[in-house]
Structure 1
Amino acid sequence: MTSPDLRTIAAGESSTVDGPPPGRWRLLAPALTSWGVCAWMIVTPGAAIWVICVVATAVTALLVLALWFGGRWRSTWVIVAIGCALLVLLGGRVAAVEHGRYDPAFVRAAAASERITLEVDLVSFPQSSAGEFGAQRSWVRAQAPGARGSVPLLLFFDGTPEANWAPGTRIRVTGVLTRTPSGDTAAYTMRVTEFAMALAAGAGPQERWALRIGEVTVGLRNGLSTAAAQIDGAELVPGFAVGDTSLVSDDLDAAMLESSLTHLTAVSGANCALVTGAIMWLLARMGAGRRVRIAAAAGALAGFVTIVGPDSSVQRAAVMATVLLVSGFGGKRASSLPALGAAIAVLLLIDPWQALQAGFALSVVATGGILLLATPIALWLRRRVRLPQLLALPIGVALAAQVACGPFLLLLQPGIPAVGVLANVLAAPAAPLGTGLGLVAMLLLPLSPPLAHAALLCASVPARWVAATAEVASELPLARWFWPEGWAGALLLAGCQLALLAAWALHRGYLALPGGVRAPRRRPWANIEPPAHSLRIAIWVIASASLGIFVAVTVITPTSERFDTPANWAVVACDVGQGDAVLVRDPSAPEEVMLVDTGDDEERLEACLDRFGVDRIALLVLSHDDRDHVGALPAIIARVEAALISPASLEQRGEERDVVRQLRVARVPTTTGVAGLAAGGRAGEADAAAGQIPDPGAEFEPALAGLRWEVLAPRAEVTPADTNSASVVLMVDAGDTRLLFLGDTGLEEQQEILSRIDQLEADVIKVSHHGSRDQDQGLPARVGAAWALVSVGADNGYGHPSGDTLAALARAGTRTLRTDTSGSIALSLDGGSLRPWVERQAAPDVGAHP
């Protein structure tokens, strides 16, 4: 978001004496309107034709009005004419793309779920990620030729992609098509079971030339990644240069995200500006003319885009840079806001489906915010705070981008990243240096590996600086402020920001109160009259209301929530969505806390731990290895003192499990939970029988003050068939409260436990597998619990919890509390009985009173 090209634009506008050129809104306003209409057309199939008809009718009426009124409203007619032209073009483009997306052959194949074979052309570089147990999963975007035109696809396959795959590569794939919603960029997804290169030996020169370019591109990218992997601290360099983040660890990626620095490793306007700026500076030193410099810069930009790939983010950056180059080609002064409007229009015409992409929205609002706010903020910092221009402009750019993107970021991630401005200012000098040296190293690798190695060593220095900035910034206190997520939070934040902007505009005289009351405009060497009393009151009220709401939400709301949280809780079911995370402790020994599972949402889990004051986890129990039970482990592993994990299932034998690796690297004493293991044991007692000792010889002290526990299943002599059947079933006594944790066991495992154990009574039961149907309906009656906890995500696609399971609990006289309806749930001891506390006062399904 804080791109050097945008800083140049901002600085350039502040240096003009003539003021901005006229008509700067004539292109941006129609482009923004067309963007909104385009988004509506995409989610409403068939609406494009109606838009074209309505616009054509409106144009006819407007021509009549224009002839009638003459040139009195000429600027209005220009804006309307541009808007109508854009709507007609976008309507035609959307209609044409929809015609190809709904190709009858593809529709029939997806409806029948039949395996088909297609020849497709890749349109992006493939990407990969590690699965739950180290398995590699990859995906790549492609286009398939259809009877009506190209059909966009998203291909998924197991394993790693071929090394020579690049945009333009043609491959033959076999798999099953699945149709996507109308707003998705890809019309279909395909689970690929077989693939092979499809370019024949007798292909034409155009295909061979495209293949050769792809091979060169892949060679350069892979060479840079391979060379960077051999240098400590250089993992960010391929991301700086070409957007390749394959070397970035999960921890560093999380730190970059938390500190709002992820845009530095995604190809953006900063990279394009660096390439074009370097070429133009070099040619200027050689005495080349302006037209030659611009033409050479455009050629270098085209080559850069070829190397990094024609992804949406690259298209946005390249189109913005191209528009600015073209605007200056004819000798006229470039104008930033018309360039932004032209970029929006061109990008939507290239791919209308970008209108619904979060990256497109963030790119547009960040650019607009920088163009409109960066210069005033920098001028204020220079005049009022006395900061030098070297610091004022980067801070102004970072703050403007953060303010503009704030409401949109709430739709993607909860909270306000307050540390983002500081992190971006600190990283701003290092990122361009790392990008430039990374590009130089990539180009030198085929020519001189020693020189390329030296360039990479130099590039690793700024890369280490950015990584250190991200890690330190993400750990700072109050790095992220509380703010409601979703559309409600986004609209509330936008309202606060607009109110402050309105107060500033009233103070500066850019806006007037009803009745024409306006503050006098400030002019050099002129006496300024004090503003009217009513205007001062209006400014004070608007600014105070905005700041008051902001402080109330960010400070008072979290504080009041903390006071509302029960202090003597014994059990807490954290609301982590579709997953499990349950805290247990004896209220008389509050420092000894057990956490059973982590869920898969790191932010929700950390928020729950912070809310209930849990800084240290004496014992972590990972009931089994499914991601919805262990996915958030990296976020809290530093707080864990000992861990109890499930035995390896049949499908996991012979490989190191991901949870074992994480705990081993973090040096957390670990043992395997099998039937018979209880509080006070030592590592290794049951591990040998379970077939795996994660950390041989490690001291494991699972005896906790106020907590007594025993593992009921699985048995050591039986190898579970899968991860669910390997679930650790645990009975825990927390003071005077007994709890039964069933993991994700199913009917078969529960029947085995019932046949083997007579005494299963408990006060609280954690219902298995989010309340799925696969349960023994007689188990609730045998347990006789007063309360049942169902940890389940709202609106999940699995039908959890099952009506049969809820009915069985009700018949047993057990009250059921669900995280999908009540949020986080706490049970506290009050007069010898458990009293529930819920985060949200929704009407939970509580069943009958016991």
Structure 2
Amino acid sequence: MQRPDLRLPVIGAAAWAGGLLAPLATHDPWAGAGCATAAAAVLAVLVVRLRRGRRLTVVAAAVVLATVALLGLLRQHQVSDGPLAALAGRRAAVEAAGTVASDPQIVPGRFGVTVMVRLDVRSVDVGGTVVSLRAPVLVLGGQEWRRLPLGASVRVAGRLGPADDPGESAVMTPRGPVHVERRPSIWWRGAAAVRASIRHAVAGRPLEQRSLVPALVDGDDAEVPDALAQEFRTTGLTHLLAVSGTNLTLVVGFLLVLARWCGVRGRWLYAAGAFGIVGFVLLARTEPSVVRAAAMGTIGLVAMGSNGRQRALRGLGAAVLGLMLLDPALATSTGFALSVLATAGILLLGPPWRDALARWLPRRLAEAFAVPMAAQLACTPLVAAISGQVSLAAVGANVLAEPAVGPATVLGLAGGLLGLVWDPLGRGAGLMASWCVAWIVLVAHRGAALPVAGIAWGTGALALLALTVGTIVVALLGPRLVRHRWLALGSALVLVVVVTVRLPSPGWPPPGWVLVVCDVGQGDALAVRAGPGSAIVVDAGPDPEASRRCLDGLGIRSVPLLVLTHYHADHVDGIAGVIAGRRIGAIETTRLADPPFGVREVTEAAAGAGVTVSRAAYGSTRRLGDVTVQVLWPLPDSPVKGPGDGSTANEASVVLLVETHGLRLLLTGDVEPEGQVVLARQLRGLHVDVLKIPHHGSRYQDEGWLVSLEAAVAIASVGADNDYGHPSRRTLDPLAKAGVDLYRTDQDGSVAVVARGGEPQVVTH
């Protein structure tokens, strides 16, 4: 095998280092100066010790590093210290004129939704003085900003404020309506029409399919259910939900094949490819992530030609260099890093793995395994740093999903284009695209349901260093291992066993457990065991990954009932982690549909799981497996619409009395003292064995009622170092004085209650 030419990749790496040096020097000048000095010393040593032929590369790398760092500092100065940033520091009222540069992003809030739009401002009017400039501004607008098309020229009055993102000069809060001065150009309107046509072509399909087709074609993932996105993260398929080089390679590759069929040859074929790249960028939006994806995808097209590996490596170095010179801020972008690492992994690690596997496998099959393996290995340390998880199912999931990705992408694009000509043709192509996507969804469902699809990994420096070293060892020694058939098959069998058979954690879950209060941070997520592999889940916590990890650790594969006590984020945001990979029987929640963003999140997640959300009926009693559940609150005449304040939503929490294995458990959600007083009056003489302390142990409680329950065990589900002062000593002390054993998840971790002879015992994890 020809040795790779790494001169341009080395120069590209130097450009990347320069891009990283600029923000470091801005944030901490001393650290930046130290890194620059160290880099200069290393480069000087290399110039002295290397042969003359390689010195030129080192000198070029040094020049590039310094140039990109300087450009980054200048760009940062222009954005953060320019005239618009100065106006933002004074919180000036201005009238700004600019171009809509991003699709609207909807951000739910307690008092409604905020629409975030990026605006490229070209001039501002301050007290009659017009200042011409060019600066990015984040607009926090109302509902009317949802309807503004990308590329429209607008004028709006508002007040500026300092920006948190170093890539933005200011944040603007509009004061009054936004005026559209000029419609987008025909190119932007055409791209918008194709995007809308793609969505229309699959409009009649199930939610998961109709949301995934646009995501594959142009990165439009606005409707992808959270539960499906969580399953894609678990199985290493997240790259399919974002604009990546793969999208461009497939779309433009298909266009080139069509051009060849039509007789296009020579330079006109290059023109067709260039047209396809520009069209793809317009279709997927000209944001930095899309430009980066276009560059990586172009490298993928280059790699398909003769001497593809060498040309693609040189192209990778040139692409990184060009992107850094164009926008040094990309150096700190996670998407950029993942794209470059994955591309480099495929080009550098892929061929040795492919050739080793090809000694006993057909070459195409060897390549199908080698490509995702190489990309995954190259990205593993960074993915672990971002997610705190290492996916074990990623390679297998990508191998299984890959055959459907190309047809789904091409058919989805065809559906959008044909739909502009004749709607039935577009819908036909969209239907076939959705069939392909159904297979990808099935792979994600089954992969996420594996007992050990991923393992948690620390994000500290030592943990990531150990993972990086281990990844390098596997990358270098792996080909020597897999070239031998039986060693490779044996290693694969070990991996399959690890993924499909959950190794028991010593002492967890404890035998005979009936209730586990999961450690999910500042929120609630509880599991009541209903039978082998089955549990009633009460609340989903604030983090899908934490909820998924807890339920997976308990071996829960079936949830006959998911009760969401109310719609606050710390009780519903983790619903994707509860649903992912599990059978959901029913979802019930409170009568009060507030706050709206929580209601919407639950409704969309339930639709993705094929379950209808219903209200927990006051006074209802039912038996599910080993558990009897009774709904004690809210009352049947409680409101169904709220004023939007947090206390009203808390007060509407579903309160459950659970009986199982001789124990009585009171699960209280965040019910407020006023509701506790009513419960005390209606349920005189109620005694329980285990109490889930209301509202994370907040100081606002009816302490007399809590003590009167005579619980043997009380548990506060609470996050470490939270800003609310939960749990309060004012709540815990009376319970402790009454002889109640107190547990809190911020100190004890997950808390399991075990039934022993009709008495509760506690095991923590």
Partner of 2:565: 623
SS at match of 1:354: helix
Cα gap change, 1:390 to 1:579, in 2 (>3 Å): same
Q: What aligned pairs does 1:28-39 form with structure 2 within 5 A after superposition?
A: 28-38=12-22
Is this contact kept in 1: 2:540–2:564, CA < 8 A?
yes
1:439-486 Cα distance to aligned partner (Å, 9 max, x none):
3443444444455445445544434443444444444x3561424243
Residue 309 of structure 1, CA deviation: 0.6
In the alignment, is residue 121 of structure 1 matched against residue 90 of structure 2? Answer: no
Question: Are residues 1:608 and 2:550 paired?
Answer: yes
Q: Is the 8 A contact 2:246 2:297 kept in 1?
A: no
Pair 1:502–1:121, CA change in 2 (3 A): same
- 2:455 matches 1:482: yes
1:774 counterpart = 2:700: yes
1:1-34 residue CA offsets vs partner (Å, 9 max, x unmatched): xxxxxxxxxxxxx6xx6x4347344413413432
Q: 1:801 corresponds to which residue?
A: 727
Give the alignment of 1:237-276 within 5 angstroms: 237-246=213-222, 248-276=224-252
Paired with 2:185 and 2:253, the residues of 1 have a C-alpha distance of 30
Deviates more, 1:331-340 or 1:218-227: 331-340
Partners of 1:416 and 1:313 in 2: CA distance: 24
Which residue matches 1:519? none
SS at match of 1:152: strand
1:433 maps to 2:384: no
Aligned ranges 1:376-395 → 2 under 5 Å: 376-383=352-359, 385-387=360-362, 389-395=363-369
Question: Partner of 1:229: helix, strand, or coil?
Answer: coil
What is the CA–CA distance in structure 2 between the aligned matches of 1:57 and 1:574, rounded to whole Å?
Answer: 47
Which deviates more, 170-179 or 424-433?
A: 170-179
**Residues in 2 aligned to 1:706 and 1:425: alpha-carbon distance in whole angstroms:** 41
Q: Rg larger in 1 or in 2? A: 1
Question: SS of 1:482's equivalent?
Answer: strand
Secondary structure in structure 2 of the residue aligned to 1:386 = coil
Distance 1:620 1:104 in 2: 51
- Which amino acid is the alignment partner of residue 438 of structure 1? G
User: CA shift at 1:381, angstroms?
Assistant: 1.4
Equivalent residues of 2:566, 2:653 under 8 A apart: yes
Per-residue deviation, 1:727 = 1.3
Check if 1:340 corresponds to 2:301: no
Q: Please show how residues 681-830 of structure 1 align to structure 2 within 5 Å.
A: 702-703=622-623, 710-719=630-639, 721=642, 722-754=648-680, 757-810=683-736, 812-829=738-755
* CA distance in 2: counterparts of 1:659 and 1:450, whole angstroms: 31
Counterpart residue type for residue 468 of structure 2: A
Amino acid at match of 2:636: A
Identity %: 30
Name the aligned partner's letter for residue 838 of structure 1.
Answer: T
1:740 Cα deviation from its structure 2 partner: 3.0
Query: Which residue of the other structure, out of 85, 100, 104, is the alignment partner of 2:82?
Result: 100
SS in 2 for 1:239: helix
Q: Is the partner of 2:623 in helix, strand or coil?
A: coil
Q: For 2:117, give the aligned amino acid.
A: V
8 Å CA contact 1:178–1:188 kept in 2: the answer is yes
Offset at 1:320?
3.6
Q: Contact conserved, 1:136 with 1:160, CA < 8 A, in 2?
A: no
For residues 295-318 of structure 1, what are the alpha-carbon distances to aligned partners after superposition, in whole Å with 9 as ceiling and x for unaligned? 553343223212221123311122
Cα deviation 1:245-296 (Å, max 9, x = unaligned) = 3454455444444433332343322233345445555666778775554355
- Alignment equivalent of 2:537, drawn from 595, 599, 608: 595
- Structural mapping, 1:452-531, within 5 Å: 452-475=426-449, 477-478=450-451, 480-487=453-460, 489-503=463-477
Structure 2 counterparts to residues 540-579 of structure 1, below 5 A:
559-561=503-505, 563-579=507-523
Q: Does 1:410 align with 2:387?
A: no
1:160–1:46 CA distance, 2 compared to 1 (3 A): farther
CA distance in 2, matches of 1:497, 1:21: 23
Instruction: Point out the more displaced range, 356-365 or 706-715.
Output: 706-715
Aligned partners of 2:502, 2:308: CA distance in 1, in Å?
Answer: 53
Give the Cα–Cα distance (whole angstroms) in 1 for the partners of residues 49 and 584 of structure 2. Answer: 77
Q: Equivalent residue for 2:645?
A: none
CA separation in 2, counterparts of 1:464 and 1:437? Answer: 13
TM superposition score normalised by structure 1: 0.73
AA paired with 1:220?
V
Q: Say if 1:767 and 1:789, in contact at 8 Å, map to a contact too.
A: yes
| Mapped partners of 1:635, 1:349: distance in 2 | 40
Q: CA deviation at 1:165?
A: 0.9
Q: Which amino acid aligns with 1:572?
A: V
Aligned twin of 2:340: 364
Work out the CA distance in 2 between the residues paired with 1:798 and 1:600: 15
Give the deviation of 1:624 after TM superposition. 2.2
Residue 62 of structure 2 is aligned with which of 59, 77, 80?
80
* SS class of match (1:166): coil
Match of 1:825, as an amino acid? V
Q: Which has the larger strand fraction?
A: 2
Change (3 A) 1:57 1:250: closer
Structure 2 counterpart of 1:172: 156
- What is the rounded CA distance, in whole Å, between the counterparts of 2:609 and 2:54 in structure 1? 74
Q: CA deviation at 1:166?
A: 0.9
Q: How many residues align?
A: 738
Q: Which runs of 5+ in 2 are unaligned?
A: 125-130, 643-647
CA RMSD in angstroms comes to: 4.9
Matched, 1:421 2:404: no
Determine which of 103, 115, 118 is the counterpart of 1:141: 118
For 2:160 and 2:631, the matched residues in 1 are separated by 43
Write the distance in 2 (CA, Å) between the matches of 1:808 and 1:101: 58
Q: Which residue of 2 aligns with 1:581?
A: 525
- Distance in 2, matches of 1:445 and 1:577, equals 47
Instruction: Give 2:79's aligned amino acid.
Output: V
Give the whole-Å Cα distance in 2 for the aligned partners of 1:63 and 1:489.
31
- Name the residue aligned to 1:686: none
Cα distance 1:129–1:239, how it changes in 2: closer, same or farther (>3 A)? farther
Change (3 A) 1:100 1:432: farther
Which sits farther off after the overlay, 827-836 or 619-628?
827-836
Deviation per residue, 1:488-518 (Å, 9 max, x gap): 654433222222345469999xxxxxxxxxx
Cα distance in 1 for partners of 2:520, 2:335 equals 26
1:124 CA drift (Å): 1.8
SS at match of 1:579: coil
In structure 1, how many angstroms separate the alpha carbons of the residues matched to 2:404 and 2:220? Answer: 18
Contact 1:143 1:151 in 2 (8 A): yes
